[in-house]
């Protein structure tokens, strides 16, 4: 109990909450400057997301891949790595799931769907491990290699879909086998055909896995140790290089899962992409809002998903351009990154509290 | 007694941090032209007090007066304005910049929109001549020695017009030669009318250079004494609050069989130079072998090679006759080597881990701390609790981050962890660096206790006194080679000093 209490009084909770409030306020100011009514706009946003079951289901659909890419970034960050390649790992995960989902025939659903999901995770992981391997053996900075791998991932995905699975006359793949689908049809029907799928559950489990792995297992101990201090880890007998590759693999597997869910649960096919989807980059923002904590990431994804999905409602019923939401998100990230500003704003409150304690 | 107005006077300064009172109504006077030493153990509150003077912390209570006038120092800029300069323990220099650029950083002389480097270089040259601070204004920081870097730090404060200089543990990083140079510089500064506050826990330095000593213990002033009216013994007792023996008590060694042997070990650096040059030595069970030498003669490389952190290019290292050359650090640890590393922040601890996690940094994967891949936090905490109590590691809790412990307690934690592994060979590299008298005594006793239990101990230290007091046998390392062997009771620091400087011929001939 004590531990739970501590968790909520810690900086790591107050800081993002304040940042979110400040971000929303800044968005409101921008709206007022533009001549819109912020209260109306925000209530339209909330109304849109939580107003009816269809939109609620679709908002969840929006949040799920963000949880995965957010976890991906946070996991690598805990091991001291900057995995900016969630984007590429996400696309490779999509493609691997598509290929397994399309080209394996005659499997029962309880084998086919998990297999497709695992393929997405493994190939997403390998894609990231490539960057980890280059860092471990050749000292290549993972930021650079990840950015390059993002582009390679985009065009490789398109090439594979174009070559092996193209729906003739279209710019998308053929549909996946029904046995590979992870959509929850009964829930979907109940929610007005919102595209809800099992991936959301797996995403939540992934957050739990992240927590247990990182803080409860021997391997997590090594990863965190390497993340904080490579020299001391080496001295303590840990294999630093292996840990770098491992951290990247697991991180990439999270992102790859996100991609797999999108194909298997939402669309049922994969488009030939003109540009990368951006989910991987949004995951960085989600991880920052969540302070690289797995449960923080889930909350961050809920916020991010709510804002993005709700922005459509905002423009629809309050006539506010949806881009305002991007300003809000940007501001939140800014305030989280610029912790000093938040602390400075909080200073009078803290001072008061301290005085009370002293006297 | 000096009746003039003090240049700096602190009156009843109190500074609290959550949970502790770092400074408890401290009063302190610094007069013009004196060196006033502030003596205290690690964590006694010396640095906090000086950070208050330098404006980095605001005291909750108390007044600071400069030249008799009460002042509010709300930041380093204000302190500099008042003529207070601080030479930090960890230098605050921009490595790829030149000496000149570092000194003028933040108060650059301008010529239009451009920086007037010519004037800057000229000013610095003048200053360095006036105070005898030898620097090369155009050298880059990463190319110059630690001693010169410190002179740059001193010049920085002088360039900004400081009259009151605070030296925070200035000798911690210096070699004996550099220390005596620094002493001369300080005397020169005093002659030129500056006043100095010297933060230290080294009694020798105080006796050598200070005029007045103020002793702080647990945030309180214990006493202020004239140097001429006191003795190192009295100072040490006041500092730690109990009797301290300078002599290390130990029974004669009873060496057994050879535990570790290095034969003709060669290790090359990136440029292909042999940093270990056919180095051979033996450590026996039940003895402490001290390695004396000037910093940079292969000590770090020797330890790295022995503990598996550096590749050995030739020769052999054996433990109980079995080769351990180029094994992984983990294999070497498992075969019975424990290692108190030279740099406790870099190698010894993961500072962002809790004390508890640090206690199992090398054993976390073993039973009972790890079961089927899951860490057993109860077992880990139990062990941490036991070690913290057994070795008197002062920490608010075993879940406190290692970062927030004082240096001495960090070192105790490492020593606890290493000794608890029950090694056959204990490698101690600079185990007392930066520690205060009380902690040094503790560490040295632990090393001797290990020896008395029949362990082999390899001690590497740049402190000659330590080598002479603790070791049972001394070898001297010079340019990656062992150049001589002596017994501590048959030698003195002059002879060792000569050997460390490379003049080995006579000694080597008589002994080997």
Three-class HEC string of B236-250: HHHHHCCCCCCCCCC
Check pLDDT > 80 for residue B342.
Answer: yes
Q: Is B231 on the interface with A (CB under 8 A)?
A: no
**Mean pLDDT estimate for chain B:** 87
Q: Looking up tokens 């000194």, which residue turns up?
A: B103
Q: Are B251 and B57 in contact (CB under 8 A)?
A: no
Q: What is the mean pLDDT of chain A?
A: 89
Give the count of beta carbons closer than 10 Å to the beta carbon of residue B102: 22
Q: How far is A358 from chain B (nearest CA, A)?
A: 10
| Burial (CB count within 10 angstroms: exposed 0-12, middle 13-18, buried 19+), residue A197 | buried
Whether B8-240 and B245-336+423-512 share one fold: the answer is yes
Q: What percent of chain B has pLDDT over 90?
A: 38
Give the closest-approach CA distance of B56 to chain A in angstroms.
17
Each residue of B23-63: pLDDT tens digit?
Answer: 888 998 999 989 999 988 766 788 888 888 988 888 888 99
Query: Greater confidence, B296 or B397?
Result: B397
Q: Is the four-CA dihedral A11, A16, A17, A22 of positive or negative sign?
A: positive
Please state the rounded mean pLDDT for residues B419-430. 93
Q: CB–CB of A301/A286 below 8 Å?
A: yes
Residue B360 has pLDDT above 80, yes or no: yes
Q: Out of A78-87, A346-355, B280-289, which region has the weakest mean confidence (pLDDT)?
A: A346-355
Q: Decide if A218 and B341 are in contact by the 8 Å CB cutoff.
A: no
Residues in chain B: 512
- Which residues of A fall within a CB distance of 8 Å from B357? 221
Provide the token pair at A344.
């400075």
Predicted confidence (pLDDT) per residue in A10-54, tens digit: 557 778 888 889 899 999 999 899 888 889 888 888 888 888 899
What pLDDT sits at residue A3? 53
Say which residues have a Cβ less than 8 Å from residue B321's Cβ, sequence separation at least 6.
none
Residue A216 forms contact with B (CB below 8 Å): yes
Most confident among A29-38, A127-136, B220-229 (mean pLDDT): A127-136
CA B443 to chain centre: 14
3-state secondary structure of B100: helix
Strands B481-486 and B314-319, by their bridges, are unpaired
- Quote the Cα angle for A341-A85-A182, to 5°: 105
What pLDDT does residue B419 have?
A: 92
Closest CA to A87 of A72, A75, A76: A72
- pLDDT of B508 > 50? The answer is no
Across the interface, whether the CB atoms of A237 and B346 are under 8 A apart is answered no
Highest mean pLDDT among A250-264, B214-228, B244-258: A250-264
Q: Which of A218, A229, A239 sits opposite B364 (nearest CB)?
A: A218
pLDDT at A152: 97
**DSSP structure class, residue A263:** I
Contact status, residue B8 vs residue B33, Cβ threshold 8 Å: no
Domain boundaries, chain B: 8-240, 245-336+423-512
* pLDDT(A159) > 80: yes
Q: Which residues of B touch A80 (CB under 8 A)?
A: none
Comparing alpha-carbon positions, the chain A residue that sits nearest to B365 is A218
A-to-B residue pairs, Cβ atoms closer than 8 angstroms: 61
B348 part of contact set with chain A, CB < 8 Å: yes
If you search the block for the tokens 């480097």, which residue do you land on? Answer: B117
Highest mean pLDDT among A68-77, B165-174, B212-221, B270-279: A68-77
Q: Which two tokens stand for residue A137?
A: 């053996």
| Distance between CA atoms of residues B39 and B224, nearest Å | 10
Q: Which residues of B touch A358 (CB under 8 A)?
A: 16
pLDDT band with cut points at 50, 70 and 90 for residue A356: very low
Is the pLDDT confidence value at B485 over 80?
Answer: yes
d(CA A278, CA A90): 9
Confidence of residue B387 (pLDDT cuts 50, 70, 90): very high
Rg (CA), chain B: 25
Of B309, B294, B293, B302, the C-alpha closest to B274 is B302
The tokens for A255 are 């992102």
Chain A residues close to B339, C-beta within 8 Å: 235
The pLDDT value given to residue B245 = 63
Quick: pLDDT tens for B99-156.
999 998 887 888 777 888 888 888 888 888 888 888 888 888 888 877 888 899 999 9
Q: What value does the mean pLDDT take over residues B382-405?
A: 90
The highest-level CATH class for domain B8-240 is alpha beta
**C-alpha distance from B511 to closest chain A C-alpha (Å):** 36
What is the pLDDT at residue B492?
A: 78
User: Residue A345: is its pLDDT beyond 90?
Assistant: no
What's the Cα-to-Cα distance from B52 to each of A1, A244, B86, B468, rounded to whole Å? 39, 42, 12, 39
The per-residue pLDDT for range B171-200, each reduced to its tens digit, is 876 777 788 888 999 999 999 889 999 988
User: Which helix (H) or strand (E) element contains residue B167?
Assistant: strand B164-168
> What is the percent of chain A where pLDDT is above 70?
93
pLDDT at A1 over 80: no
Contact call for residues A77 and A285 (beta carbons, < 8 A): no
Structure tokens at B303: 């330890």
Do B286 and B455 touch, CB atoms closer than 8 A? yes
Phi, psi of B362 (to 5 degrees): -110, -10
- Does residue A349 register a pLDDT over 80? no
pLDDT for residue B90: 78
Q: How many helices (H) and strands (E) does chain A have?
A: 16, 0
Quick one: B442 exposed, middle or buried, by C-beta within 10 A (0-12, 13-18, 19+)?
middle
CATH-assigned architecture of domain B245-336+423-512: 3-Layer(aba) Sandwich (3.40)
Structure confidence by residue, pLDDT tens digits, A263-298 = 999 999 999 998 889 999 999 999 998 989 999 999
φ and ψ at residue B483, rounded to 5 degrees: -105, 0
- Cβ count within 10 A of residue A336: 22
Question: Is A235 an interface residue toward B (CB < 8 Å)?
Answer: yes
Taking alpha carbons only, the member of B485, B429, B481, B427 closest to residue B458 is B427
**Whole-model pTM over 0.80:** no
pLDDT at B70 over 60: yes
pLDDT tens column, A177-198: 999 999 998 898 888 888 999 9
pLDDT at res. A357: 44
Question: A235–B347: do the CB atoms touch at under 8 Å?
Answer: yes
Are A238 and B350 a contacting pair at CB < 8 A?
A: no
Cβ <8 Å between A231 and B375? no
Predicted local distance difference test score (pLDDT) of residue A359: 37
pLDDT (mean) for A64-91: 96
Element at B36 (helix H, strand E)? strand B35-39
Pick from A118, A121, A120, A114: nearest CA to A180: A114
Tokens of residue A146, six digits: 């990840």
- What does the alpha-carbon distance between residue B164 and residue B73 come to, in Å, rounded to a whole number? 14
Which of A219, A222, A229 is closest, CB to CB, to B351?
A229
Which of A225, A229, A231 shows the shortest CA–CA distance to A246?
A225
As a whole number of angstroms, the distance between CA B321 and CA B261 comes to 8
Distance CA B59, CA B22 (A): 10
What is the percent of chain A with per-residue pLDDT over 90, rounded to a whole number? Answer: 63
Task: Considering only residues A240 and A320, tell me which one the structure prediction assigns the higher pLDDT.
Answer: A240
CA distance B324 to B334: 11
SS (H, E, C) A180-216: HCCECHHHHHHCCCCCCECHHHHHHHHHHHHHHHHHH
């Amino acid at each position: 109990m004590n531990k739970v209490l501590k968790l909520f009084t810690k900086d790591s909770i107050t800081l993002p909450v304040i940042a979110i409030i400040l971000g929303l306020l800044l968005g409101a100011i921008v709206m007022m400057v533009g001549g819109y009514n912020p209260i109306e706009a925000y209530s339209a946003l909330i109304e849109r997301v939580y107003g009816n079951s269809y939109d609620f289901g679709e908002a969840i659909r929006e949040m799920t891949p963000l949880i995965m890419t957010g976890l991906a970034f946070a996991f690598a960050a805990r091991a001291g790595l900057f995995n900016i390649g969630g984007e590429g790992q996400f696309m490779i995960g999509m493609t691997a799931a598509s290929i397994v989902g399309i080209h394996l025939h005659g499997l029962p659903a309880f084998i086919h769907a998990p297999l497709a999901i695992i393929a997405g995770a493994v190939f997403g992981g390998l894609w990231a491990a490539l960057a980890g391997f280059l860092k471990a053996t050749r000292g290549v900075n993972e930021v650079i290699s990840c950015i390059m791998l993002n582009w390679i991932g985009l065009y490789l995905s398109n090439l594979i879909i174009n070559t092996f699975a193209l729906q003739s006359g279209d710019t998308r793949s053929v549909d996946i086998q029904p046995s590979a689908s992870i959509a929850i049809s009964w829930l979907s029907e109940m929610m007005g055909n919102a595209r809800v799928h099992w991936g959301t559950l797996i995403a939540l489990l992934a957050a739990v896995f992240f927590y247990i792995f990182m803080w409860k297992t021997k391997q997590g101990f090594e990863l965190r140790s390497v993340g904080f201090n490579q020299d001391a880890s080496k001295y303590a007998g840990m294999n630093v290089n292996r840990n770098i590759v491992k951290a990247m693999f697991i991180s990439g597997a999270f992102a790859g899962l996100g991609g797999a869910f999108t194909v298997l649960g939402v669309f049922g096919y994969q488009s030939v992409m003109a540009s990368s989807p951006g989910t991987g980059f949004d995951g960085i923002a989600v991880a920052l809002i969540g302070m690289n904590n797995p449960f923080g990431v889930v909350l961050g994804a809920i916020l991010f998903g709510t804002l993005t999905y709700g922005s459509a409602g905002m423009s629809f019923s309050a006539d506010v351009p949806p881009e305002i939401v991007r300003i809000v998100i940007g501001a939140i990230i800014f305030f989280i990154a610029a912790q000093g500003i938040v602390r400075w704003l909080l200073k009078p409150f803290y001072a008061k509290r301290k005085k009370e304690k002293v006297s | 007694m000096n009746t003039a107005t003090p240049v700096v006077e602190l009156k009843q300064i109190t500074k609290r941090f959550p949970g502790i009172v770092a400074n408890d109504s401290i009063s302190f006077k610094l007069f013009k032209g004196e060196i006033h030493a502030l003596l205290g153990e690690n964590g006694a509150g010396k640095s906090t007090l000086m950070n208050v003077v330098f404006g980095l912390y605001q005291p909750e209570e108390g007044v600071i007066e400069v030249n008799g006038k009460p002042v509010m120092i709300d930041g380093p800029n204000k302190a500099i304005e008042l003529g207070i300069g601080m030479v930090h323990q960890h230098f605050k220099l921009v490595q790829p910049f030149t000496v000149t650029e570092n000194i003028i950083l933040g108060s650059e002389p301008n010529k239009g929109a451009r920086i007037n480097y010519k004037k800057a270089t000229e000013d610095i040259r003048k200053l360095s001549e006036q105070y005898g601070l030898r620097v090369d204004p155009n050298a880059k920081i990463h190319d110059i020695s630690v001693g010169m870097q410190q002179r740059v730090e001193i010049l920085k404060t002088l360039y900004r017009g400081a009259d009151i200089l605070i030296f925070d543990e200035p000798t911690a990083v210096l070699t004996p030669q550099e220390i005596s140079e620094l002493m001369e510089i300080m005397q020169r500064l005093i002659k030129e009318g500056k006043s100095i506050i010297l933060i230290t826990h080294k009694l020798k330095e105080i006796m050598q250079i200070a005029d007045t000593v103020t002793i702080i213990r647990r945030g309180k002033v214990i006493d202020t004494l004239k140097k001429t009216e006191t003795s190192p013994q009295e100072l040490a007792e006041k500092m730690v609050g109990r009797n301290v023996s300078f002599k290390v008590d130990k029974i004669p060694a009873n060496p057994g069989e050879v535990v570790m042997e290095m034969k003709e070990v060669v290790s090359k650096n990136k440029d292909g130079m042999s940093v270990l040059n056919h180095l051979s030595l033996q450590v026996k069970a039940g003895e402490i072998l001290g390695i004396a030498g000037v910093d940079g003669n292969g000590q770090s490389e020797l330890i790295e090679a022995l503990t598996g952190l550096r590749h050995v290019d030739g020769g052999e290292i054996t433990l109980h006759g079995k080769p351990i050359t180029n094994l992984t650090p983990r294999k070497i640890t498992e075969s019975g080597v424990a290692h108190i590393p030279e740099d406790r922040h870099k190698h010894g601890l993961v500072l962002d881990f809790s004390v508890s996690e640090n206690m199992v940094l090398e054993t976390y994967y073993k039973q009972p701390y790890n079961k089927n891949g899951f860490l057993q936090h109860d077992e880990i905490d139990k062990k941490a609790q036991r070690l913290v109590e057994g070795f008197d590691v002062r920490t608010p809790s075993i879940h406190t981050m290692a970062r927030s412990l004082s240096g001495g307690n960090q070192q105790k934690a490492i020593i606890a962890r290493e000794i608890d592994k029950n090694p056959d060979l204990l490698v101690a590299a600079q185990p007392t660096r930066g520690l205060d008298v009380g902690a040094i005594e503790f560490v040295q006793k632990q090393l001797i206790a290990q020896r008395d239990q029949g362990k082999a101990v390899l001690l590497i230290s740049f402190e000659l006194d330590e080598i002479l007091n603790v070791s049972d046998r001394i070898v001297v390392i010079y340019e990656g080679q062992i150049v001589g062997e002596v017994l501590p009771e048959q030698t003195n620091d002059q002879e060792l000093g000569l050997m460390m400087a490379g003049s080995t011929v006579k000694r080597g001939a008589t002994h080997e």
